[in-house]
Structure 1
Amino acid sequence: MAVGIVIVSHSARLAEGVAELAGQMSMGEVTIAVAGGTDDGSIGTSIDKVAAALQKASSPDGTLVLLDLGSAVMITEMALEMLDAQEKERVIISTAPLVEGAVLAAVEASAGSTLQEVAEAANNGHDMPKGHQA
């Protein structure tokens, strides 16, 4: 088994795209669940979608959650409150950038790394260059 990954975004299409990219980079070896948009398909977040994604990606090895912005953090924290204490202990909410963090986390998880190692790999996304420096 591997660490599971949850992608929480205000946009369903964004969440699915990030999951698709990360999934390809990990060669499908990692469960990546998405919670994007509201229940009616609008831009926003949904506690029910986050709870379902947490359930889908749940792993004995742990689950890493990556988010886009704002209320995604609050909604994810509320969804975590619905879990029992043992499940909560196996979830880390990452502060990593969404795309870079998801790709790095998926690759690290596919190598069989621990939850802490996967979270640290995701955080390395903060340091990834995005252009040429003069």
Structure 2
Amino acid sequence: MTAQVGIVLVSHSAAVAAAVATLAQGLAGGGESAPIAPAGGTPDGGLGTSSELIVEAARAVDRGSGVALLVDLGSAVLTVKALLAEGDELPEGARLADAPFVEGAVAALVTASAGGDMDAVVAAASEAYTYRKG
């Protein structure tokens, strides 16, 4: 089996990032899931985003097939885009997924766990925008 795409959940809150990772793992079904890691808050435990924590999480989930990064709010997007523009801190093949945070995380993890490549993982996460709730 080929290496799976890793997933990083970037939130302004460590608790939110960790909870969404746990939720996604729980909803992804049984068996071994693709690697997923939260990168929330600041190193001192405050609210915000941290390039250091994002890079650390991305390296932890990198299995050679790329890392999909899902973000919660505006400055998290800017932080990830800056890291991607720098080009040397995140693993090769890292991509920002334009996706809703919770639904996108679940869809991305299910797809990555099933062996989907980066394009499939990012597409699944992005398609979560179309999930109707009413």
TM-score norm. by structure 1 comes to 0.89
Does residue 64 of the first structure (1) align with residue 64 of the second (2)?
Answer: no
Partner of 1:24: 26
Partner of 2:12: 10
Residue 116 of structure 1 deviates from its aligned partner by 0.2
Matched to 1:105, the amino acid is A
Runs of 4+ off more than 4 Å: none
Partner of 2:39: 35
Q: Is the Cα contact below 8 Å between 1:25 and 1:106 reproduced in 2?
A: no
Q: Is the Cα contact below 8 Å between 2:83 and 2:89 reproduced in 1?
A: no
Instruction: Give 5+ residue unaligned stretches, structure 2.
Output: none
Structure 2 matches for 1:1-134, cutoff 5 A? 1-26=3-28, 27=30, 28-80=32-84, 81=86, 83=88, 87-88=91-92, 90-131=93-134
CA RMSD after TM alignment: 1.6
Distance in 2 between the 1:74 and 1:11 partners? 16
Q: Give the secondary-structure state (helix, strand or coil) at the position aligned to 2:95.
A: strand
Q: Residue deviations 1:52-90, cap 9 Å, x none?
A: 0111111211111000011101212333326269x34x1
Q: How many residues align?
A: 129
Identity of aligned residues (%): 42
TM-score norm. by structure 2 comes to 0.89
Q: Give the secondary-structure state (helix, strand or coil) at the position aligned to 1:125.
A: helix
